[in-house]
Amino acid sequence: MDERVASILEQLSKGRIPVVPPDVDYAVQLARLTSYLDAIRHFTLALSSGDLSQTMGQAGMGPVVGSLKALHSSLKHLTWQTKQIALGDFSQRVEFMGEFAEAFNTMVVTLGESRAELEQAYERLNEDMMELQLMSAELQQSEERFRLIAESVSDVIWTLDASLDSFTYVSPSIASLRGFTVDEAINEKFAQALTPKSYAYVQDILMQKLSFYSETGTLDSFSERIEIEQVCKDGRIIPVEVVISAIISTDGNIKEFVGISRDITERKREEEKLKYESTHDSMTGLYNRAYFDDELGRIANGPLFPVSFIVADLDGLKRVNDSIGHEAGDQLIRGASDVLKMAFRGSDVVARTGGDEFLIILNMTDEELAAKSIGRIRIYQEQYNKNSGNMPVSISLGTATAYSAGDIPSALKEADKRMYDDKVSRKQQRVG
Amino acid sequence: MPEGIINRKYKFNWDLLGDLELGRPNLGHNMRVEVYRLMQYSFRDVLEERYGADEADRVFHEAGFLAGKAIYDNLIGPQGDVNELIKKLQSVLKDMGIGILRVEEADLDNGRITVTVAEDLDCSGLPDTGVELCTFDEGFLAAILKSFSGKSFTVKEVDCWCTGDRTCRFTAVVNED
Ligand SMILES: [Zn+2]
């Protein structure tokens, strides 16, 4: 046999692919074998570098190539499966490929689960977003509603920062309350919006309520109405009723204060009027019996002794009423009242305690000073009568002094008795 | 009336597979692969003797088509897309022990599908005869694809155990007509 054949076979057995000389024995068969091996080598190289587009073509027959083609086929199937997974088909599974199949399938399951979790999270996020949007829309609606309410009521609604420093909202009716525009009112500090006394008062009250809140966690005490005084743009000071509440943030701290302010000038005036009417005699403007009795109680507990009382009784009222008429009688009463008003200071209590009876309380006044007061009444009575025409006023007077609360009843009785004595002696004078 | 129709005894339908629960209460659904092959290759021998190898191939191809359509109608049913179809077909072929179907390419838009069948019931393990054998499978796959897509496909076995390969590879190309 050709020795070159042996050498070629030797090289083939070592895995080399030798060049086959054309003139060697079995040259055609050997050349076919080497080109077959060469084709396998190329195919294997392509496979190992991941190039699955190569095929064995017509040369690729037989079990050796068949095994390679099976590998080729598996890799192509894997590639296809991976593409399906990439498109979201996590049901793909590799089968019959041993450990690799197990590892690959675990990866796909994990990927699928992660994807599902992500989708769930995304869905939840979407739901939360929807909810937030809904809430925000509702919030906007409710804010709009409250704005409309705040801006249509005549009371002033305002919000104040938690440090009691600046306003964060003031409703437009501030213009009718204090004459300021909304901008002016918002730029004003809280301390400037109130009189100094009211500012201190409000601060005090809010501090109390805040400490109550921090102790009990309830805001109940906030709804109480308080009365304060505020300064208007034109300098007037007006009485204002305020209700202050607190808005608590989610962390439990005070976020803001909300207040409603109302002008109570009219109400105050009404109250003053009622109070005046309940303490004064409507015909003369002097204090009435009720006030006189209250005042007696007050001086009994007070430090203003000695206190002197003057009992004054209008003479001849019944006679004038009967003979001339009640209008003339009323004129007489007003005349007596004018005389008494002229004779005393504003701080003295001059009261009409009966139809023709007047009582006067003089604090820190002893008998001597009381006697001078009696003298003063006589002088003013004389003056009055000079101009009173045919309706002269004649008043009987008596005085007594109390040095302590216990003396008061007897002093009043004594004064009354002396007035009566005066009336009798003056009647005798007229007659005599 | 044509002669062929007069002589029909068993026109194929799914019921011909019989009630196995009733008929094989002890032996059940399974039998040996050799028996299947025994029947197939004895048939083929007689057919080749009588009509020649090419005609025998055509007979098997047509029979495969009939079987594929029956399988589609009875075990697969309508599917959403080609990937669903493949998945379903894979599981049917595996569950029935027909073979392990793998996909190399499934581009229905361009009418090209390449699949492999490993451990094929018909040919895996057969002697290397150098000729592709699985004409039954070609018809079978063509019927599945036609049932699914409504289009007719030409399915060709390009690699087969019988040509030395370890898997059978089929290419399917849609017929432009
Ligand atoms: Zn085959």
Which of A61, A73, A91 has its CB closest to that of B167?
A: A73
Q: What is the DSSP string of A81-137?
A: HHHHHHTT-TT----S-HHHHHHHHHHHHHHHHHHHHHHHHHHHHHHHHHHHHHHHH
Walk me through the domains of chain B, giving residue ranges and CATH numbers. 14-174 (3.30.1380.20)
Each residue's pLDDT, cut to its tens digit, for chain A (432 residues) gives 688 999 999 999 998 999 999 999 999 999 988 988 888 888 999 988 889 888 877 666 777 888 888 888 889 999 999 999 998 889 898 888 889 999 999 999 999 999 999 999 999 999 999 999 999 999 999 888 888 888 888 889 999 998 888 999 999 999 988 999 999 999 999 888 899 999 999 988 888 888 888 888 777 767 778 899 999 999 899 999 999 888 888 888 888 888 999 999 999 999 999 999 999 988 888 899 999 998 888 888 878 889 999 999 988 888 888 888 888 888 889 988 888 888 887 778 999 988 889 999 988 889 898 899 899 999 998 888 888 777 888 889 999 998 988 888 998 899 899 999 988 888 787 665
Do A362 and A348 touch, CB atoms closer than 8 A? yes
Do A276 and A265 touch, CB atoms closer than 8 A? no
Interface residues from chain B to A (CB-CB < 8 Å): 83, 87, 94, 100, 102-106, 114, 116, 118, 128, 130, 159, 161, 163-167, 169
Query: How close B75 gets to chain A, by Cα (Å)?
Result: 20
Closest C-alpha among A104, A3, A17, B93 to residue B103: B93
Do A377 and A340 touch, CB atoms closer than 8 A? yes
Q: What is the pTM of this model?
A: 0.55
Q: Which residues pair with A256 in a beta bridge?
A: A161, A247
Instruction: Show Cβ contacts of residue A166 under 8 Å, excluding neighbours closer than 6 positions.
Output: A160, A186, A189, A190
Query: How close B166 gets to chain A, by Cα (Å)?
Result: 5
Walk me through the domains of chain A, giving residue ranges and CATH numbers. 3-86 (no CATH), 153-264 (3.30.450.20), 280-431 (3.30.70.270)
Angle, in degrees to the nearest 10, between helices B53-71 and B33-51: 140
* E strand or H helix that includes residue A426: helix A408-431
Kindly determine whether residue B118 and residue A70, on different chains, have CB atoms separated by under 8 Å. Answer: yes
In this predicted complex, what is the ipTM?
0.79
The amino acid occupying position A395 is I
Q: Which residues pair with A405 in a beta bridge?
A: none
What's the pLDDT score for residue A58?
66
How confident is residue B1, by pLDDT bands cut at 50, 70 and 90?
very low
Report residue A281 as tokens. Answer: 């005699």
What's the pLDDT score for residue A431?
62
**Residue B103: closest C-alpha in chain A:** A77
Position B157 pLDDT exceeds 50: yes
How confident is residue B97, by pLDDT bands cut at 50, 70 and 90?
very high
* Residue whose pair of structure tokens reads 């289009």 in the numeric block: B151
For B111-122, the pLDDT digits (tens) are 899 999 999 998
* Residue whose pair of structure tokens reads 């109250």 in the numeric block: A271
Query: How close A92 gets to chain B, by Cα (Å)?
Result: 8
Which of A62, A70, A80 has its CB closest to that of B103?
A: A80
Position B137 pLDDT exceeds 90: yes
**HEC string of A267-278?**
HHHHHHHHHHHH
Do A359 and A310 touch, CB atoms closer than 8 A? yes
**Distance, CA of B97 to CA of B29 (rounded, Å):** 11
| Residue B54 to residues A209, B44, B61, Cα–Cα distance (Å) | 106, 11, 10
Report residue A254 as tokens. Answer: 């005070």
* Residue whose pair of structure tokens reads 């393990």 in the numeric block: B125
Which of B102, B103, B166 has its CB closest to that of A66?
A: B166
* E strand or H helix that includes residue A301: none
What's the pLDDT score for residue B42?
95
Residue positions counted in chain B: 177
What's the pLDDT score for residue A8?
92
The rounded mean pLDDT for chain B is: 89
Query: How close A116 gets to chain B, by Cα (Å)?
Result: 20
Do A182 and A170 touch, CB atoms closer than 8 A? yes
What's the pLDDT score for residue B177?
67
**Distance, CA of B77 to CA of A294 (rounded, Å):** 108
| Chain B partners within 8 Å of A81 (Cβ) | 103
Position B15 pLDDT exceeds 80: yes
* Residue whose pair of structure tokens reads 């009566």 in the numeric block: A420
* E strand or H helix that includes residue A60: none
Kindly determine whether residue B164 and residue A74, on different chains, have CB atoms separated by under 8 Å. Answer: no
E-strand ranges in A177-250 read 225-231, 237-248
